[in-house]
Structure 1
């Protein structure tokens, strides 16, 4: 591996010794989604898995090396998170995502307790319910197939939002076909669901626009965004008030109860609330200073749970469905494992303790893992070094010095395609969705193997680095820190298991009964398809597949997570056995 200093010299050579066209061309490394556009190509081009980009404004270290990634993520104080990049998520208050150092440890200790294996059983049940509701909305009560669906990404977002709302905050949201007329509560102009959905849809507007402009702007976009922001703030404060009242009365509810955990973790107890209400009104305000989190921080963490708790899972569900539509052999293998695990049991009898470990270690888990390898939610995880504090790394037997005040990007898109770490048949194979690479013996089913990975969560020290594996024990275990879809170390995602349980449940519900296909109606109408030859079907499918591949490479853009934003890939669901395109 070339050293970092050699890499610096290469970039300097590009910017100094070459002609202007070469310098202009080097600007490709500074584009917003450069990590996705280049994947591992840049590291291959410079023959190094660590590159230092030197510029007048700041230096940036790009990392696609597992050994370096492991050191950076475990040395939290040496390589802190650049929190200035996360100010936008502080809409309602500071939180576990936007803080660092001792302040972050304080938030982490308070926000971690709800994310336990016991509470994930509620995530499982709600995910099963919401997945069934989503499919019913698509196919109808007696439906056997859907028409072309272009909104699978949006519907996956809705599903995940419903899951976090119910499992985390006790509010069940309904799908359009389930909704009944509900009065908007007094004091509100939007329903709970509408306020939340509109806030998330307009999140970038709210983040980037000064609050006074948002409030007084004559533009419709600003008015809609501001109303959603104000209304959702009201709903959160009402949830917080209601939770304080529950605690005051000594009541509690079963399950994850994220708001309740925040209230209790902040030191708000039955005794403290009753003491506060009995205190001299002129002195009552003083007791609020004893809270371990302020009211704003409680609301800030509640909001970030919802924000972070739905996009990762939703993206994985959407892209897993798309990839399976493009790869029939993998879809068929998934369905075979689901049959072996779940048999003929109705969904109401699916058991969390019995079935989830098997799903995690089967083709269902392999599909999830491979999607997260191909499209990790965040393609560039930011770290940094502090001013006046350069840091050393040991990489491939070499000592490497990372300059002071340097931005660091852990390039997950490149790391997950680094040929050093992944079984592959060719360089092109590393770019392909092939969940079978996770199966240790692709000739055998993994469906009947109990996996003990989930048990490792019990007794976990949330104040230390997260050492739980991301994959089941009977699936491929990539080298340490070469697979980081949920980040790594101390700052790995709190809701990782939450997301994994949700994804496994949704994939199981869908593919136990249904198959997904690319829609070819732009190339063959339904009438033409009824009499089309296999050659004609394949030609139409190939065109749809080519368009999907084009959008996966050229239609992606990052706002919070990476998503397909330039267009959509239409798909259809049919009952198993009624498939028309067994290609890919």
Structure 2
């Protein structure tokens, strides 16, 4: 009995002492760098904390004597909610030391832009990429020559020629979405987030995968031979990415051993993979009949698969790499834009004066032409500067990506900050704080947390007409699509989609929130922004409960 007790005590001591010893080792290593240090008991990538933090946060926040103060630094929980405040407290760079890693947090505009340009010296880390490799490695998660190969194959379809197709499909999808919303009349729309996801997914599939669907059907409908639609399977995976990764790495588990939620996630992974396989199989039957100059993303991926079968390594992709890229472009190509459209609509409902501001431009550009099928991309898009300014401002305040992760790998890069050099040790995580940069008063003024899309518009001196308005260039440190070699190839795709949808929605309509009898304009505005702020980082930033604010769409008078 004593022997068993001794073994148990030894294991307990080892479990307690291991993280403490590692924490001390990392702390002394961090001290040599010369930056402010914050010590935290929870690692950035602790899966238990990632899965449970939303339930545990209220408990830790209620602890007396500041015992729960450490949670604001735990994992990526606080990156969105704190915006610029942690850097305001600790300076443009600080170190977070945990038992498992040292992380370098930085929000200096020039240094951040320098780091994102160093793709060979400062790389992507496996820890930050594993969840996005659920179906296979891809252009977002790879480094070095493999990244270059994936980028070379997947980027060409996102070209200016495709912008016209994106414009037309976005208008068509917005027509269907607006019809759905206006038909709900006084009951209000509670599915804004889900509907913008459907719209963006259909635009992506049309522009990137060559298939067109009506808004009311398409990927939201249950296809023959499936138990879950393409849209619903993707949605479940995005909302449960960590459990999905864990399930995907395990051998089959009897369903009776799993909870209902875990079974649903497992079905979503299986169904989404099946949907993607069917797309690839169907594309193979037509790829040789198409002009390679007009390839969409799926065609380019299938051609790369054929190249792999023929031993042409430089321009080839394995089947798993095709699946990985299809998944990542689904995430990056629709989830981000859908969120941006959704957040923009809610902010316009909260501050309707900006709807009038947008309406002035939209009316000027289309001059009484309500037939959206005749709206021409080449003529209209360059003139819709206020619509694009709305996108920039939405991405500034509620951008889907609030940090850019990087890693020193086996190197020890030396970085210059405010005239002083700092050498980071190997295996240091680098967290580029775009969420901080996008809201810092030093960069945006005292109203940095306020919604003012006109901050992006400049006028030629002495002029007041819309023709003489210009969109301001993106300042240093504003990185919604990143910059440099790893910048988002779908930037123009997203801009065209957003502008087309917003122009259509607000050409003849306005949006407002449903009011309770006791509410005023100010209390409604407050309620909307509370719903917006009740957001968190899943794969991207999302509202937890957008359905709390029902929206009503009416014709403009």
Report the TM-score, using the length of structure 1 for normalisation: 0.78
* Residue number in structure 2 paired with 1:543: 523
Give yes or no for contact 2:95–2:105 (8 Å, CA) kept in 1: yes
Output the CA distance in 2 between the equivalents of 1:153 and 1:14: 35
Closer, same or farther: CA 253–325 of 1 in aligned 2, 3 Å: farther
Unaligned runs of 5+ in 1: 273-284, 451-473, 525-538, 578-584
* Residue number in structure 1 paired with 2:255: 217
| 2:196 is the counterpart of 1:156 | yes
Question: Of 29, 32, 36, which aligns to 2:80?
Answer: 36
TM-superposed CA distance for 1:196, in Å, is 4.9
| 2:259 is the counterpart of 1:259 | no
TM-superposed CA distance for 1:179, in Å, is 7.7
Q: What does 1:159-178 align with in structure 2 at a 5 Å threshold?
A: 159-176=199-216
Give yes or no for contact 2:134–2:248 (8 Å, CA) kept in 1: no
Closer, same or farther: CA 504–289 of 1 in aligned 2, 3 Å: closer
Q: What does 1:231-242 align with in structure 2 at a 5 Å threshold?
A: 231-242=271-282
* Residue number in structure 2 paired with 1:324: 348
Closer, same or farther: CA 222–349 of 1 in aligned 2, 3 Å: same
Output the CA distance in 2 between the equivalents of 1:300 and 1:381: 20
Unaligned runs of 5+ in 2: 1-29, 42-63
Q: Which moved more, 1:225-234 or 1:195-204?
A: 195-204
| 2:389 is the counterpart of 1:366 | yes
Closer, same or farther: CA 215–165 of 1 in aligned 2, 3 Å: farther
Output the CA distance in 1 between the equivalents of 2:315 and 2:292: 22
TM-superposed CA distance for 1:209, in Å, is 2.3
Question: Of 374, 395, 405, which aligns to 1:349?
Answer: 374
* Residue number in structure 2 paired with 1:418: 440
* Residue number in structure 1 paired with 2:10: none
* Residue number in structure 1 paired with 2:26: none
Closer, same or farther: CA 414–7 of 1 in aligned 2, 3 Å: farther
Output the CA distance in 2 between the equivalents of 1:446 and 1:497: 26
Output the CA distance in 1 between the equivalents of 2:536 and 2:297: 31
Q: What does 1:85-234 align with in structure 2 at a 5 Å threshold?
A: 85-140=128-183, 145-176=185-216, 184-185=223-224, 187-190=225-228, 192=230, 195-196=233-234, 199-200=237-238, 203-212=241-250, 216-218=254-256, 219-234=259-274
Give yes or no for contact 2:407–2:428 (8 Å, CA) kept in 1: yes
Residue 430 of structure 1 aligns to a residue in which SS? coil
Give yes or no for contact 1:8–1:51 (8 Å, CA) kept in 2: no
**RMSD (CA atoms):** 3.2
Give yes or no for contact 2:80–2:537 (8 Å, CA) kept in 1: no
Note the alpha carbon deviations across 1:417-466, whole angstroms, 9 max, x for none.
223323x3x2xx1110111111113996674369xxxxxxxxxxxxxxxx
Output the CA distance in 1 between the equivalents of 2:317 and 2:363: 47
Give yes or no for contact 1:392–1:399 (8 Å, CA) kept in 2: yes
Output the CA distance in 2 between the equivalents of 1:519 and 1:12: 44
Give yes or no for contact 1:61–1:406 (8 Å, CA) kept in 2: yes
Give yes or no for contact 1:341–1:447 (8 Å, CA) kept in 2: no
Output the CA distance in 2 between the equivalents of 1:195 and 1:562: 19
* Residue number in structure 1 paired with 2:490: 495
* Residue number in structure 2 paired with 1:562: 541
Residue 400 of structure 2 aligns to a residue in which SS? coil
* Residue number in structure 1 paired with 2:5: none
Output the CA distance in 2 between the equivalents of 1:53 and 1:558: 19
Output the CA distance in 1 between the equivalents of 2:149 and 2:218: 40
Closer, same or farther: CA 147–384 of 1 in aligned 2, 3 Å: same
Give yes or no for contact 1:417–1:430 (8 Å, CA) kept in 2: yes
Output the CA distance in 2 between the equivalents of 1:57 and 1:199: 27
TM-superposed CA distance for 1:22, in Å, is 5.4
Output the CA distance in 1 between the equivalents of 2:171 and 2:278: 28
Note the alpha carbon deviations across 1:343-391, whole angstroms, 9 max, x for none.
11221111111111111xx21111111001111111111012123x221
Give yes or no for contact 1:376–1:485 (8 Å, CA) kept in 2: yes
Q: What does 1:238-387 align with in structure 2 at a 5 Å threshold?
A: 238-248=278-288, 250-251=289-290, 257-266=296-305, 268=307, 292-345=316-369, 346-359=371-384, 362-387=385-410
Closer, same or farther: CA 14–129 of 1 in aligned 2, 3 Å: closer
Query: Paired residues, what number?
Result: 501
Note the alpha carbon deviations across 1:129-165, whole angstroms, 9 max, x for none.
001100101113xx8x553222211111111111112
Q: What does 1:499-514 align with in structure 2 at a 5 Å threshold?
A: 499-514=494-509
Residue 209 of structure 1 aligns to a residue in which SS? helix
Closer, same or farther: CA 11–233 of 1 in aligned 2, 3 Å: closer
Question: Of 571, 574, 580, which aligns to 2:551?
Answer: 571
Output the CA distance in 2 between the equivalents of 1:104 and 1:194: 30
* Residue number in structure 1 paired with 2:512: 517
